[in-house]
Amino acid sequence: MANKLTCSPVLEREALAPVLEPITVAPSGDVIMVVGKEKRRMRVHSVILSAASPVFKVMFGPNFSEGNHLSTVDPKEIPLPKDNEDALQTIFYIVHFRPDAINDPPSPDLLLQVAIAANKYGFVNALKHPLQAWINDSAIQEPEKLWKLVMASFWIQKEDYFKSTTKKTPGMGWGAIPPSRVYMDDQMPPDAASRFFGKALSYSGTLCIHLQRLILFKQ
């Protein structure tokens, strides 16, 4: 008797999971980005992403399969499983001139994730003005939330905010933030933490002491 083939429960669940309609960032988009663990599908336009990001410009160029045979009739799906869904959705709305679809202002958590994704994909110049406006307009004083704005300013090279905020650190209570919580939220690798530590050194001894503790914890 032939053995009956079975699939794992995980694969079976994935096979039975409904395929949701993509979020329409661009109605005439020729690409559907499938982002993050939840596989959020977002319809975007490759030309706009290429103009805003050097990374996507290469991806959609002639040397990669992602850029071949693109069509608005049958958009090509491109998986980005390691990225934050909300962050990329926010970025896609901004570069496609859809401010109506964005929560304004975004939370510090989302703003940090947007800054990280902008740095990763080279969207910093395209997002410079809205990100700076969100950071500058923030009246947040809680150390953990303020930390996220400081980190966001680091990722988008916003030197003036980074400098002014780190100078305030003697009264901010940075030491109360658990190292594991900071790294879990910020996804900051040791090399980036070291660069951040060097930049903060000239601005705030208090923050540097806390940051040194974080770097040692991470290693």
Task: Please name each of the domains of the chain with its CATH number.
Answer: 15-102 (3.30.710.10), 124-219 (no CATH)
Distance CA 182, CA 68 (A): 40
Residue 24 pairs in a beta bridge with 43
Distance CA 89, CA 33 (A): 10
End-to-end distance of the chain based on CA atoms, in angstroms? 55
pLDDT at position 29:
96
pLDDT at position 10:
47
Q: Are 85 and 22 in contact (CB under 8 A)?
A: no
pLDDT at position 48:
97
pLDDT at position 136:
78
- Report the run of H or E that residue 77 belongs to, with start and end: strand 76-80
Quote the tokens at residue 50. Answer: 């290429």
Q: What is the dihedral of CA 61, 64, 68, 71, to 10 degrees?
A: -70
What is the sign, positive or negative, of the torsion defined by CA atoms of 154, 156, 160, 165? negative
pLDDT at position 98:
94
pLDDT at position 184:
41
DSSP 3-state assignment of 43?
strand
pLDDT at position 133:
85
pLDDT at position 2:
52
- What is the value of pTM for the model shown? 0.76
pLDDT at position 76:
95
Which residue ranges of the chain lie beneath pLDDT 50?
A: 1, 10-11, 13-16, 170-171, 180, 183-185, 212, 214-219
